[in-house]
């Protein structure tokens, strides 16, 4: 399939999505993560094993996928996305998948997406639940619209336990969303709230907020903040 995809965060959702997307024959899958593999990652990040402990997640992900399917369409960046490197890493991509557990990184991706009109998908897992939202500036609401004046704070698996099947489910839904978008199908900008044990998906309509500081006001606070260079931003 045609298309270049960038996956930010090579842990749960991102790792699984990279595996699935690479086997679908897309031109290029970039995986971006400055983190290394630790003991706690092994439980739900099935591509990694004990032999990989201490190695970079992105580089290991690329090597494992190449070994599994023989394809060379994965490119890895062993860095955290920041305001310095975002342009170099994400420019030319057709869609960005957020597989991070960092709200600040999501906000940075959102600002870049609004500035460059590149769509992205926010994903999150928590407990036995998942959240997915497709964001296409000018066509759907953005992360800023969703956050401003609301209590709908995206979930963050960094602070809470995650059932191993939740990231699996989220990655299946988000990769099929990418396939739909790159096949020119209509993708909804609703926030999808999934409860896996109940097997329900609730769609929450998030309207474009005419007072959103990002997509209406074009304020790019994080993109312009050069103090966050090279750090994982929370």
Q: Does residue 103 touch Zn ion according to CB under 5 A? A: no
Distances (CA, A) of 129 to 32, 51, 88: 24, 30, 33
Least Cα distance to 166 among 52, 5, 11, 9 occurs for 11
Q: Which stretch binds Zn ion (CB under 5 A): 92-100, 176-184, 194-202, 205-213?
A: 205-213
Applying CB under 5 A, among 95, 103, 177, 215 the residue interacting with Zn ion is 215
Name which of 33 and 107 has its Cβ closer to Zn ion. 107
CB-based contacts of 183, cutoff 8 Å, min separation 6: 1
State the minimum distance, in angstroms, from the CB of residue 151 to Zn ion: 17
Backbone angles phi, psi at 16, to 5 degrees: -65, -40
Q: Does residue 16 touch Zn ion according to CB under 5 A? A: no
Q: Which long-range contacts (CB under 8 A, 24 or more apart) does 41-47 make?
A: 41/11, 43/164, 44/12, 44/162, 44/164, 44/167, 45/11, 45/12, 45/15, 46/16, 47/15, 47/16, 47/19
State the minimum distance, in angstroms, from the CB of residue 112 to Zn ion: 13
State the minimum distance, in angstroms, from the CB of residue 135 to Zn ion: 8
Placement of tokens 């312009």 in the chain: 224
Q: Does residue 212 touch Zn ion according to CB under 5 A? A: yes
Q: Which stretch binds Zn ion (CB under 5 A): 1-9, 120-128, 138-146, 191-199?
A: 138-146
Name which of 17 and 215 has its Cβ closer to Zn ion. 215
State the minimum distance, in angstroms, from the CB of residue 67 to Zn ion: 41
Size, binding site for Zn ion by CB under 5 A: 6
Applying CB under 5 A, among 11, 34, 99, 144 the residue interacting with Zn ion is 144
Q: Which stretch binds Zn ion (CB under 5 A): 44-52, 64-72, 173-181, 206-214?
A: 206-214
Burial of 133 per CB tally in 10 Å (0-12, 13-18, 19+):
buried
Least Cα distance to 63 among 54, 51, 75, 53 occurs for 75
State the minimum distance, in angstroms, from the CB of residue 108 to Zn ion: 14
Q: Does residue 169 touch Zn ion according to CB under 5 A? A: no
Binding site for Zn ion (CB under 5 A): 142, 144-145, 212, 214-215
């Amino acid at each position: 399939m045609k298309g270049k995809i960038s996956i930010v965060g090579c842990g749960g959702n991102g790792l699984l999505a990279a595996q699935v997307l690479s086997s679908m024959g897309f031109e290029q899958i970039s995986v971006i993560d400055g983190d290394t593999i630790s003991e706690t990652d092994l439980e739900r990040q099935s591509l990694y094993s004990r032999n990989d402990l201490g190695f970079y997640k992105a580089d290991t992900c690329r090597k494992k996928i190449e070994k599994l399917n023989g394809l060379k369409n994965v490119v890895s960046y062993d860095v955290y996305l920041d305001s310095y490197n975002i342009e170099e890493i994400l420019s030319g991509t057709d869609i960005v998948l957020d597989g991070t557990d960092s709200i600040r990184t999501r906000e940075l991706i959102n600002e870049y997406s609004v500035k460059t009109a590149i769509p992205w998908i926010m994903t999150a897992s928590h407990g036995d639940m998942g959240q997915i939202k497709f964001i296409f500036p000018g066509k759907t609401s953005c992360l800023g619209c969703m956050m401003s004046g609301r209590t709908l704070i995206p979930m963050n698996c960094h602070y809470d336990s995650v059932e191993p099947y939740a990231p699996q489910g989220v990655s299946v839904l988000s990769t099929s969303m990418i396939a739909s978008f790159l096949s020119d199908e209509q993708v909804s900008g609703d926030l999808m709230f999934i409860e896996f044990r109940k097997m329900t998906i609730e769609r929450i309509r998030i309207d474009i907020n005419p007072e959103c500081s990002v997509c209406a006001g074009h304020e790019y606070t994080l993109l312009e903040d050069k103090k966050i260079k090279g750090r994982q931003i929370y």
